[in-house]
Chain A
């Protein structure tokens, strides 16, 4: 319910040229000031709700992206910033590039651009907030369902 008011992001650079990263960090500066929405850039997946990824994915960063995504607690959303994270960008045909981030993890919002402008990034994150809010409601529902199922199984001794 409060996800819209307090979304915490973790920002990871897969194989970005750092252009989009600089724009993400620029969004946190006083000129654009993401913190007025309550957004904090935590460096720690366990604290984060929104996973902001820049850059395409190759063999070494694939494991890392998966690892960080797995260490985030539900509900979570992924925002792919920049065209490289969306689809591989101009490096798509390179032998080491696997493609966009959605080859590894499910992406919710794509922010195109090379480099993506801070306004687009902010727009993308706000869109992600809607998805996050919806997902948190679903998450609560599924948790309740799972608990009810488990209680039913235990009552009828079907949980071995």
Chain B
């Protein structure tokens, strides 16, 4: 059934972006590079849709034996390690050096002792879950790269002190896409590990882009934690190879039995580090100093999704053990703590970062629970979150340039200064928590999955979702205040950015409208294949959600147009400022002094201070991680 064609598409998706990245690195002419980028993006989107089209729904595995591939990977691996060692020494980060050397040691030991005896049958595979992730990487990733073309132009105009390395920037972005495709389609654990390390290094270099002290510090923080994860991954591979006798992910999970538990736990640990769960969350919040397309691509829609992807993949091997319970508690704890911390943050990118970590925590919790309902909601969460969060990051990317500030408190009256961007932002924020958008659907499914498993998780979800309600509505309220007489700041937004914003806004709405089809065509068959039966949403509820969505989609534009153009029978008066108005925002205070009414949001720092909550969360998380690993090792 098109088995051959299938593998070609996959190989195309893995290798093509890498080739494009090299082209973008080497060609000096900007317009040629832009043309290549646009063509590449179109090709990638077409490629992923083609893959969807030709897939049969069942999992397909491919053999791909080649000594040359193995050798190439080894050489590249070695080069990467040398580079990281060099960076570690140059910047005196000795933990980096230590972890890299340990990793190298483990791998060399493994290669010489056990690897020759293991034969990998299926190196690549494609199932519905990988296809869903490939769609996210291909479509959303391509549009983010498109956006980055406009963004990076303005970035360098505003940051003249930063060295213009945009060719390296785009090289890394497309190389990263290539590595992501590699992760989701590889069945060979060593290949996954190789692509994993490539994403770690790409993330490191992209965070460091600005080359100032804060960026370098954040980059190394990310590198250190991800290397620790990589070390665990390498240990897991060694164990799997030596004791379970296989290096194939699917065989390990399905047939590994008792010997699969330790590698699964170690790989889950690596996934936790990559998806910035507690106790590793600080690298993601610090990584927000990177240019916004990096935050959108790596740190919200794709790389961190690779972390939870691998956790979902290995979780079946942990089912029933204490490690799985620890995993779900860790996810729940992360969700609660980060949602509460986000209330006290006024930096827009930090709020987005904490929200991302929280949602990923929910996915990890679902993976730990491991029932068919839980995995179904986890995949829904991944899809909806990727779309809405990347839209939010891209909006913040535009506002951070035009307002020269990342603070939410400076986004007053944004709807008057930048109406179209505000509209996209409102869609993004609604997409993150409001009925009838996707995240609400997935949170609902998650709640149902949690209740059937453990009421404590349901309670955590109840508190956490109350927290998310607060900080998102607070942000939305900040941008919709209306005041007349403000200058329009969005006339100079580049068409690259507009296109991406428009497409992602439509996708946020669209993915919610088509979600029943998405669920029945892609997700439910996958769940049925693994668990035998799949949950789905009750038809009546789907209808109600569609009614709400269609109601909103029709009422909002109609009402806006009515109020803007047709409603004429009114008298305009000032706001009530005790009768002492000078104009709508200023009033005469005591002794006749003119004062401006300045309004700020509540941040509840006394309740939800970042430091205190994070420290408590960190301690609890370390405890849970030790339990998770310790129980496994004994």
Contacts and interface: CB of A to CB of B under 8 A. Distances in A.
Interface string A44-75: 11100000000000001001110110110100
Nearest to B577: A67
Contact of A44 (B569, B576, B592): B576
B576 A12 contact: no
B572 to A, nearest CB: 10
B580 A46 contact: no
A65 B588 CA distance: 14
Nearest to A70: B573
A35 B579 CA distance: 25
A153 to B, nearest CB: 13
Interface residues of A, number: 14
Contacts of A46: 573, 576
Interface centre among A12, A65, A67, A73 (most CB of B within 10 A): A67
Contacts of B581: 67
A16 to B, nearest CB: 15
A68 B578 CA distance: 8
Nearest to A44: B576
B595 to A, nearest CB: 15
Interface in B527-575: 569, 571, 573-574
B576 A71 contact: yes
A51 to B, nearest CB: 11
A69 B588 CA distance: 17
Contacts of B573: 46, 70-71
Contacts of A64: 578-580
A70 B577 CA distance: 13
Interface residues of B, number: 11
Nearest to A67: B579
Interface string B127-154: 0000000000000000000000000000
- B573, B579, B580, B592 pick with most chain A CB within 10 angstroms: B579
A34 to B, nearest CB: 23
Contact of B576 (A45, A60, A65): A45
Nearest to B582: A63
Contacts of A68: 579
B583 to A, nearest CB: 11
Contact of B574 (A60, A67, A73, A147): A67
A60 B571 CA distance: 25
Main secondary structure, interface of B, reads loop
Contacts of A12: 579
A112 B574 CA distance: 32
B566 to A, nearest CB: 13
A63 B574 CA distance: 13
Contacts of A44: 576
Contacts of B574: 67, 70-71
Contacts of A60: 592
Nearest to B579: A64
B163 to A, nearest CB: 57
Contacts of A45: 576, 579
Contacts of B592: 60
A68 B588 CA distance: 14
Contacts of B579: 12, 45, 63-65, 67-68, 71
Contacts of B571: 73
A12 B579 CA distance: 10
Contacts of B576: 44-46, 71
Interface string A134-158: 0000000000000100000000000
A66 B574 CA distance: 12
Nearest to A47: B576
Interface string A1-44: 00000000000100000000000000000000000000000001
A63 B592 CA distance: 12
A1 B580 CA distance: 33
A73 B570 CA distance: 10
Nearest to A73: B571
Nearest to A71: B573
Contacts of A73: 571
Nearest to A45: B576
B324 to A, nearest CB: 57
A127 B452 CA distance: 67
B576 to A, nearest CB: 6
Most chain B beta carbons < 10 A, residue from A12, A64, A73: A64
Nearest to B581: A67
Nearest to A43: B576
Interface string A115-134: 00000000000000000000
A12 B576 CA distance: 13
A111 B370 CA distance: 77
B591 to A, nearest CB: 11
B535 to A, nearest CB: 50
Nearest to B573: A71
B587 to A, nearest CB: 10
A40 B292 CA distance: 54
23 contacts: A12-B579, A45-B576, A45-B579, A46-B573, A46-B576, A60-B592, A63-B580, A63-B588, A64-B578, A64-B579, A65-B579, A67-B574, A67-B579, A67-B581, A68-B579, A70-B573, A70-B574, A71-B573, A71-B574, A71-B576, A71-B579, A73-B571, A147-B569
Given A71-B576, A71-B579, 11 more contacts: A44-B576, A45-B576, A45-B579, A46-B573, A60-B592, A63-B579, A64-B579, A65-B579, A67-B579, A70-B573, A71-B573
Interface of B: 569, 571, 573-574, 576, 578-581, 588, 592
Q: Which are the 3 A-B pairs with shortest beta-carbon distances?
A: A64-B579, A68-B579, A67-B579
